Amino acid sequence: MELNLRNAVVLITGASRGLGREFAIAFAGEGARIAICARDSTKLEATAAAVRQRGVECLAIQADLLEGAACQRVVDDTVEHFGRLDVLVNNASASVDTTPKSIEVATDAQVMARINGKMLVAVRCARAALPHMRKGGGGRIVNIGGTAARTTFRPGDLPSEGSGLAQGLGNSSLANFSKYLADEVAADHIVVNTIHPHLIRTDRHTQRVTWQAKKFGVSESEAEAQIAAQIPIGRILEPSDVTPLVLLLASPLSGATTGQAIAVDGGALRGVTY
């Protein structure tokens, strides 16, 4: 399918590694022009180089999105460089896998970590992006949430040291914001959707395998097999399992799918979502 993303200007937050990096490379494969941001400028530049190798332009913007004006600056720099903004992928997120298991010992900062470190960052980036998308006649916003939006993960449910509370609060608030925004900007031809990944093989996965192996006293390959056994499709999900949906929702073809939240979970969540 031709996704019509050639020369589209795409900003991906948190794209120095993990899913964001894979998204950038996938958009490069479609001929898009790409801006990426993250805090670690060395990793960011390495990703930018990998993107440019695919023959497209890539602007690398070093930024800590938790700092007040950073989201606006990242959007402004992108538009100044490319002259427009067609797609925003809100992917950056604070890592919260070690949030304490009980709210009795979790601090306010730990409870709020992903609300501030993901949802609020997405709000700020979207706020900065909207005028440029309107000016360009429309746009696409893809928010990367997580399956913790749809269920509670109690301590021990996930291969993680902490509870799923901070993930749940952050991802569910992101999905709610996404739906709200979709309604607000629908008439401007801007569509907004959320993707909920589940246990994807990124750096976070490596930490999970180490933790699982330690918890059950097994080798890392046995721990990996234990995690895979919990996924109905029988394997750990790869970043490449998520990229096709990101590209599709970012495409000009997807003009009528808005306000939706779609999980990429290998069938792991049993709840029925209508």
Ligand X SMILES: NC(=O)c1ccc[n+]([C@@H]2O[C@H](COP(=O)([O-])OP(=O)(O)OC[C@H]3O[C@@H](n4cnc5c(N)ncnc54)[C@H](OP(=O)(O)O)[C@@H]3O)[C@@H](O)[C@H]2O)c1
Give burial (CB, 10 Å; 0-12/13-18/19+) of 26. buried
- Determine if 181 is a binding residue for ligand X (CB under 6 A): no
Number of residues that bind ligand X (CB under 6 A): 31
Tell me how far apart the alpha carbons of residues 135 and 127 are, in angstroms, rounded to a whole number: 14
- Determine if 200 is a binding residue for ligand X (CB under 6 A): yes
Nearer to ligand X, 167 or 258 (CB): 167
Nearer to ligand X, 122 or 213 (CB): 122
Among 91, 110, 212, 251, binds ligand X (CB under 6 A): 91
Orientation of helix 41-52 relative to helix 18-29, angle to 10°: 20
Tell me how far apart the alpha carbons of residues 25 and 113 are, in angstroms, rounded to a whole number: 28
Tell me how far apart the alpha carbons of residues 86 and 34 are, in angstroms, rounded to a whole number: 10
Among 52, 189, 204, 235, binds ligand X (CB under 6 A): 204
Per-residue interface string for the shown chain with ligand X, residues 129-168, x marking contact by CB under 6 A: ---------------x-x----------------------
- Please, are residues 261 and 196 in contact by the beta-carbon 8 Å criterion? yes
Pure H helices in the chain: 18-29, 41-52, 70-82, 108-114, 121-135, 165-185, 203-216, 220-229, 239-250
Per-residue interface string for the shown chain with ligand X, residues 223-262, x marking contact by CB under 6 A: ----------------------------------------
Site for ligand X in 36-65 (CB under 6 A): 37-40, 43, 63-65
Interface with ligand X by CB under 6 A: which range of 1-9, 200-208, 209-217, 220-228? 200-208
Q: Give min distance, CB of 164 to ligand X, in A.
A: 10
- Determine if 66 is a binding residue for ligand X (CB under 6 A): yes
Reduced to 3 states, what is the DSSP secondary structure of residue 181? helix
Tell me how far apart the alpha carbons of residues 218 and 213 are, in angstroms, rounded to a whole number: 5
Judged by the rule CB under 6 A, the positions of this chain that interact with ligand X are 14-20, 37-40, 43, 63-66, 91-95, 118, 144, 146, 197-200, 202-204
